[in-house]
A and B are shown apart, each in its own frame.
Chain A
Amino acid sequence: MKNPLDSLWGTIICGLILTVILYFMVKGILG
């Protein structure tokens, strides 16, 4: 599988997905 970080769009999409995951993690911590 190609590393998504090799392309700029892959990097941006990974960053956006990580933002959503961390958002729900923080929401969970804050209750």
Chain B
Amino acid sequence: MDYVPALARWIHFMAGVMWIGLLYYFNFVQVAAMKAATADGTAAGISKHVAPRALLFFRWSAVVTWLAGATLLGNQFGNAFLFRGGMAGIGVGAWLGTIMLFNVWVLIWPNQQKILGLKPATDEEKNHARRVAFLASRTNTMLSIPMLFFMAGGWSHRALFGL
């Protein structure tokens, strides 16, 4: 048995569940909850105690997911990203995951730091940061749909979809 791919797949799944699970928590639960909490003056509980912890696990599980995925691809890494050698299905999944990782670290996290007051920002900067982080998060939710299709069906079960 080849231990490295087996362990990489396991870690890829666990970290991926945490990453996408928290992404769905933000989009399906926290956005609406913040709106309601702001209206009744209890938003600080979420922004002070919940969001920073959720973001910590969110951004680092994204890194672990990507690294474990890259390890799992092994010497097929180049073929996947270049859509060669019958690897186009998983390659699309890998590209989508990579774009999502970029969104987490370049658009979501730096803007969330301003929103949560971890980085100094004016009210105007905070409003802009809120919109950018929201749209990047929604973009990742949208991209997660094809990403999971190609991750799940693009390689091990590709015959099922004629890929």
Contact = CB atoms under 8 A, between A and B. Distances in A.
A30 interface: yes
Contacts, number: 53
Contacts of B83: 26, 29
B16 interface: no
B-side interface mostly? helix
B144 interface: yes
B28 to A, nearest CB: 7
A22 B141 contact: no
A-side interface mostly? helix
B27 interface: yes
B88 interface: yes
Nearest to B144: A15
Nearest to A20: B146
Interface residues of B, number: 22
Contacts of A15: 141-146
Interface in A1-31: 3, 5-6, 8, 11-12, 14-16, 18-19, 22-23, 25-27, 29-30
B123 to A, nearest CB: 22
